[in-house]
Amino acid sequence: MTLLDKITEKILRQIDEAGFRQEGAFNLRHNGIALCHGDSEHIKIKKKEDKPGIDVYIDGDTQGEQVHIPVVVDASGMTDVVYNDFFIAEGADVTIVAGCGIHNSGCNESRHDGIHSFHVAKGANVRYEEKHYGGGEGSGARVLNPVTNIYMEEEAVFTLDTAQIRGVDSTRRETNIVLGKGAKLYVMEKLMTHDAQEAVSNMEVQMDGEGSSAQIISRSVVKGSSSQIFHPKAVGNARCHAHVQCDSIIMDHAQVSSIPEINAKHLDAAIIHEAAIGRINDEQLIKLRTMGMTEEEAENVIIENFLN
Amino acid sequence: MLEVKNLTFKVNENGIERSIVKNISFEVGDGEMLVITGPNGGGKSSLAKVLMGIEEADAGQIILDGGDITSCDINHRANAGIGFAFQQPPRFKGMTVIRLLSLASGRELSRRECCRMLGSVGLCANEYITREVDATLSGGEMKRLEIATVLAKPHKLCIFDEPEAGIDLWSFSMLVQQFEKIHKKKEQSLILISHQERIIRMADRIMVIEDGRIGAIGRKEDILPVLMNTEDSCACMETGCC
């Protein structure tokens, strides 16, 4: 077992709620190199030969297994680009726990660009959890620019659960998803920015397959002088249905834009978009204060649960 | 327990000052149930909000157990032992029912404890514990949950603003039983704002508020016959309007 330093362990606790262990299938990337990795009977991880990254092969007998592939960057001034591909075989049932934490103690920008592609075969069920976190006492920026491409075959199910709660100065998220016949997509995106942070999230969902469906929920809190832009786009190319819901709480001097785009290219494509931006409701604050909380405590409870 | 002296509350509407609560004085004893009734728009809910600190009094004093709480804010009054159930409770996107009840009780509740609380207000616990307190709950469900948040821990004084509003008959009966149970123990004082005869009949004392003033206050035995024998008053009790 590889010994991990305290900073790495601290970051892993932030980005891997299930608890990172050097057991089963795992790969820990640290400052651009694979610090440790392991395979399981059904999940094999191979290092790419042509570019940085890994190929993860999940066979059809995988049932209820987890694979953990966290990334830690604690070298100030580093730009780490990684290409990870996941091949999930027919009938597999797997949870992939990713996530990236940047600890920047210096004055230079630290950046991680994770380009992840998922090839989900017929009937496979994938849950993908990705948590982003920034820390460290340095003045250098912490930048995370994830790209997520998901290709879903017939009757595949994909749950994408992403969260960026604190410490990331700039993020630009690009997500592209293609759904085959009867495929089901569930997305939960949670984002909080503070101080002068910036976040942009572009998501395009192409529903190509008959009877495919997508549920996309985005919840964000924008504080300080930070800014966020959401651009979810759902395209119905066949008989399908989708529901896109974006809710944002705005505070202080922050700015948030929600730019929904729904596009039907088939008579039986049913796509709904809901978007709401607003400050914390006074009635919610008052209700929690009648339970004995201060205004600040009540505000924190509302935000914590909203992003839960 | 609670002494209210010469309480006045005004609002400013387009530069014109209007008195909503006008120089009201009354007391609530330990373990006593006071039911406040009267026509809509008479100032009952405003009075309740001033007692909880949600609205600020323009004049007068509020004394709880001998301590002047007039200038205390909402959370200090809550920590001093006042509980408050809103007429129209707010919804919380992302918060589960068990989380809200845990916050209300001041500790993490087990599923079993949560079930018991929900059951006491007529909600089938297994269906609700992990539900979000959002727009998926009906007005009646929200109202019962709101009452459960106040019953989640003991208070010196609980204020319920029209607890019956939006609740079906079966749940209302359960609610009445809950109030009777609390009242019987005499451990908590209760102020209930209501138009419902069954609730008014539970009172130790009744206070009628009309146009921001106390129209009548006294023992149930003295006030109820007057309310019941007055045609207008009966209508007021049933419909809440005069």
Interface pTM, i.e. ipTM = 0.91
**By residue range, what is the domain housing residue B44?**
1-83+185-242
* A293 reaches B (C-beta below 8 A): yes
In this predicted model, what pLDDT tens digit does every residue of B213-236 receive, in sequence order? 999 999 999 999 888 876 454 444
Asked if B94 and A308 come within 8 Å (Cβ–Cβ), the reply is yes
* CA separation for the pair B22, B44 (Å, rounded): 11
Tell me what the mean pLDDT of segment A135-154 comes to.
96
- The answer as to whether B219 is a domain residue is yes
In this predicted model, what pLDDT tens digit does every residue of B96-138 receive, in sequence order? 999 999 999 999 999 999 999 998 888 877 788 889 999 899 8
Asked if B104 and A289 come within 8 Å (Cβ–Cβ), the reply is no
Residue A50 gets which letter from DSSP? S
* Interface mutation target, options B103, B109, B151, chain A, most CBs of A under 10 Å: B103
The strand pair at A53-58 and B82-85 is best described as: unpaired
Judge whether A241 and A270 are in contact, CB under 8 Å: yes
Asked if A305 and B104 come within 8 Å (Cβ–Cβ), the reply is no
pLDDT of res. B151: 92
Instruction: Considering only the beta carbons, identify the residue of A281, A292, A305 that sits closest to B75.
Output: A292
By C-alpha distance, the chain A residue nearest B97 is A305
Is residue A105 packed enough to be buried (19+ CB in 10 Å), middle (13-18) or exposed (0-12)?
middle
* CA separation for the pair A44, A300 (Å, rounded): 42
A295: chain B residues, CB-CB within 8 Å: 75
Is B141 found in the same domain as B212? no
Find the Cα–Cα–Cα–Cα dihedral A202, A208, A213, A215, rounded to 10°: 0
pLDDT of res. B172: 85
Is B100 found in the same domain as B129? yes
Per-domain boundaries in chain A: 6-281
* B24 reaches A (C-beta below 8 A): no
* B38 reaches A (C-beta below 8 A): no
> Residue B78 is part of a domain; what is its CATH number?
3.40.50.300
Is B99 found in the same domain as B74? no
Instruction: Considering only the beta carbons, identify the residue of A281, A286, A308 that sits closest to B74.
Output: A286
Residue B63 structure tokens: 């004394």
- The answer as to whether B199 is a domain residue is yes
Residue A71 structure tokens: 């990334």
Asked if A291 and B103 come within 8 Å (Cβ–Cβ), the reply is yes
In this predicted model, what pLDDT tens digit does every residue of A5-15 receive, in sequence order? 899 999 999 99
Which one has a higher pLDDT value, A133 or B169?
A: A133
- Read off φ and ψ for residue A240, nearest 5 degrees: -165, 170
Closest CA to B209 of B5, B12, B17, B34: B34
* Interface mutation target, options B93, B108, B131, B147, chain A, most CBs of A under 10 Å: B93
- The answer as to whether B164 is a domain residue is no
When pLDDT is cut at 50, 70 and 90, the band that residue A182 belongs to is very high
What lies within 8 Å, CB to CB, of B229 at 6+ separation is: none
Considering its fold, how many domains does chain B have in total?
Answer: 2
Tell me what the mean pLDDT of segment A113-123 comes to.
97
Asked if B92 and A305 come within 8 Å (Cβ–Cβ), the reply is yes
Residue B142 structure tokens: 């929200």
Look at residue B107 and give its three-state secondary structure: coil
pLDDT of res. A83: 97
Asked if A305 and B89 come within 8 Å (Cβ–Cβ), the reply is no
A301: chain B residues, CB-CB within 8 Å: 103
Residues 190-219 of A with CB under 8 A from B: 219
- The answer as to whether B56 is a domain residue is yes
Instruction: Considering only the beta carbons, identify the residue of A288, A291, A305 that sits closest to B94.
Output: A305
- The answer as to whether B178 is a domain residue is no
CA distances, A109 to each of A8, A33, A74, A248, B33 (Å): 18, 19, 11, 28, 65
Asked if B90 and A287 come within 8 Å (Cβ–Cβ), the reply is yes
Instruction: Considering only the beta carbons, identify the residue of B75, B86, B92 that sits closest to A302.
Output: B92
Asked if A281 and B90 come within 8 Å (Cβ–Cβ), the reply is yes
- The answer as to whether B162 is a domain residue is no
* Interface mutation target, options B45, B69, B75, chain A, most CBs of A under 10 Å: B75
In this predicted model, what pLDDT tens digit does every residue of A78-95 receive, in sequence order? 999 999 999 999 999 999
* B26 reaches A (C-beta below 8 A): no
* B90 reaches A (C-beta below 8 A): yes
Is B2 found in the same domain as B78? yes
Asked if B99 and A305 come within 8 Å (Cβ–Cβ), the reply is yes
pLDDT of res. B230: 63
Instruction: Considering only the beta carbons, identify the residue of B89, B93, B149 that sits closest to A306.
Output: B93
Is B78 found in the same domain as B97? no
Residue A114, H or E segment: strand A110-120
Which one has a higher pLDDT value, A165 or A252?
A: A252
- The answer as to whether B39 is a domain residue is yes
> In sequence order, what DSSP letters do the residues of B138-187 get, joined into one string?
-HHHHHHHHHHHHHTS--SEEEEESTTTT--HHHHHHHHHHHHHHHHHTS
Instruction: Considering only the beta carbons, identify the residue of A286, A288, A294 that sits closest to B54.
Output: A286
When pLDDT is cut at 50, 70 and 90, the band that residue A172 belongs to is very high
Is B79 found in the same domain as B190? yes
CA atoms within 13 A on the CB side of A233: 14
pLDDT of res. B155: 94
In this predicted model, what pLDDT tens digit does every residue of A210-228 receive, in sequence order? 999 999 999 999 999 999 9
Asked if A293 and B75 come within 8 Å (Cβ–Cβ), the reply is yes
pLDDT of res. B56: 95
Residues 125-154 of B with CB under 8 A from A: 149
- The answer as to whether B110 is a domain residue is yes
Residue B120, H or E segment: helix B111-120
Closest CA to B163 of B172, B154, B155: B172
Asked if A287 and B75 come within 8 Å (Cβ–Cβ), the reply is no
Asked if A301 and B103 come within 8 Å (Cβ–Cβ), the reply is yes
A247: chain B residues, CB-CB within 8 Å: 93
Is B210 found in the same domain as B149? no
Residues 216-255 of A with CB under 8 A from B: 219, 247
pLDDT of res. A280: 94
Kindly give the parts of chain B with pLDDT less than 50.
231, 233-236, 238-242
